[in-house]
Amino acid sequence: MSDLFTQRLALLAEPDHLPLLSQCLHGIERECLRVDTQGQLALTPHPAALGSTLTHPHITTDYAEPLLEFITGTSTDPAQTLHELESIHRFTYAKLAGEYLWSPSMPCPLPEEPLIPIAEYGRSNLGRLKHVYRQGLAVRYGKAMQCIAGIHYNFSLPEAMWPLLQQAEGDGRSVQDYQSASYFALIRNFRRYSWLLMYLFGASPALDAGFLRGRDHQLEAFDADTLYLPYATSLRMSDLGYQNNAQAGLTPCYDELSSYTRSLHRAVSTPYPPYEAIGTQRDGQWIQLNTNVLQIENEYYSSIRPKRVTRPGERPIHALQERGIQYVEARCLDINPFLPMGIDLTESLFMDAFLLFCALADSPLLANGECQTCTDNFLTVVTEGRRPGLMLTRGGSPIAMRDWAAALLEQIQQVAVLLDRAGHQDLHRQAIVVQQAKIADSALTPSAQILEQMRSQGESFSRFAYRQSLAHAEYFRRQPVVGEELARFEQLASRSHDEQAQLEAQDSVDFDSFVRAYQESLASPPSA
């Protein structure tokens, strides 16, 4: 354990500073597919009663028209965040006619790719830009890959914590620069240790066989309709997911903010010959925003992102460069099909302790091949995480995954104890105990439990997932939103439609000019 970690824990344990730990902010984004009564992809438009996908603050779509995305606000209490997420689910189910929310991350049986509908956002220039961006994703990666769902966990440390740590460490940078550098330290440690999350919470060891039709793969047949790997934890996060030749050489540096933003700027402004060969329009219709390595910053696929709330019309790169990192978005969490919302309080509490540990622990730069080692460890765990005797690499030497995981949990537990002292409860420590049991017995992991359920019930992946989807639907429909809560959601939906109509009425330039101006907003690279 590093001296820096010990010193920071001691500083935050002081009575005057301990309350800061109860001021961390959390937010959750949960994606899920709409399916019909046969467990097939719903081909219906987004239900109008849920509001406008362009302007609703909590209910939108991601890639496909049936791929819903639920977005909570931020709260210092993860239980409150989950309560809000549950309310969004209950309201949605009240408006779904004869449809269900698919329970796991990997998709239901999908139709032929041309039949998968890309999300629509209305006639405004902004809405059309969001649609064309997704058309570009279809051209570049295929539609099936865009139907994978996940949970994004947003987390920030209290603003008052940064100057406290900075002063104690005698750091002479501005508070903004220190804060951004500290978030990058968190991200580097997340890269080092996120394989642990894949073992503990990975919940996609199997998938519908049709998902990989016509593609080479190394998976095994579970049954006639299911592919899997016997020790996999998260096939969603394996190389079956978002892999692309254009992005293969894109490795944004997590050393400092300026090098990170420069790397992303190059990617969104550098043409990629295979995309140039495709072009941006076909038969007079836009099919991608541009022919660069990335169409926009968010196309870069990573397990964690530095984030800053953007102003209207502002590019994410510029927001980061001008005002620094505000929070991180952890993007590698699978949806647990045993949980109605895909995540529960125990997982959320552990995520808080894990991310805070990543922020407080010493985090040297990723040098001498460590970046590739992080990737290798991560991919090993997503495909073989439950294999007995599995070895990873730490500091250039082999180490048993179970031994490393146990050591990490001991350190994370120290953070959990502090969080519990700050909140006058024992819930974070209990969340650690639950994870320690999974290290001792891999049968307790979600990935193992999914395969065991499929075996014991004689079910394919899709039959298991559909059964869970029906159970979750019953859970949410038993207690629909009512009264003031229902009125609030219906008002949000109505207001979002009005806001979309206003945007459509305000457009003053044609779409081609709008896209050109959008591209020109990145004409100058971020300052060094």
Give CA–CA dist 109/342, Å, rounded. 20
The residues facing 88 across adjacent strands are none
Q: Which residues contact 66 (CB under 8 A, 6 or more apart)?
A: 33, 34, 35, 41, 42, 43, 44, 46, 117
Tens digit of each residue's pLDDT (9 = 90 or more) over 427-448: 999 999 999 999 999 999 999 9
Place 255 in a pLDDT band, splitting at 50, 70 and 90. confident
Give CA–CA dist 316/484, Å, rounded. 36
The residues facing 271 across adjacent strands are 292
Number of C-beta neighbours around residue 64 at 10 A: 25
pTM value?
A: 0.96
Average pLDDT, the chain: 94
- Per-residue pLDDT for 52 more than 70? yes
Give CA–CA dist 324/306, Å, rounded. 9
Q: Pairing state of beta strands 304-307 and 327-333?
A: antiparallel
Give the DSSP letter string of 101-141: E--SSSPPPP--GGGSPBP---SSHHHHHHHHHHHHHHHHH
Give CA–CA dist 320/310, Å, rounded. 9
- The pLDDT, as a whole number, for residue 1 is 55
Q: Are 151 and 343 in contact (CB under 8 A)?
A: yes
- The pLDDT, as a whole number, for residue 313 is 79
- Per-residue pLDDT for 204 more than 80? yes
Give me the percent of the chain exceeding a pLDDT of 70: 97
The angle subtended at Cα 103 by Cα 97 and Cα 109, nearest 5°, is: 80
Q: Compute the chain's Rg from CA coordinates.
A: 23
Tokens coding 37: 């009564």
**3-class DSSP state for residue 193?**
helix
Domains (range + CATH), the chain? 21-387+446-520 (3.30.590.20)
**3-class DSSP state for residue 173?**
coil
Give CA–CA dist 430/420, Å, rounded. 10
- The pLDDT, as a whole number, for residue 459 is 98
Place 241 in a pLDDT band, splitting at 50, 70 and 90. very low
Q: Are 38 and 470 in contact (CB under 8 A)?
A: no
Q: Pairing state of beta strands 67-71 and 327-333?
A: unpaired
Place 242 in a pLDDT band, splitting at 50, 70 and 90. very low
Tens digit of each residue's pLDDT (9 = 90 or more) over 354-394: 999 999 999 999 988 898 999 999 999 999 999 999 999 99
Tens digit of each residue's pLDDT (9 = 90 or more) over 214-229: 788 899 999 999 999 9
Give CA–CA dist 259/450, Å, rounded. 41
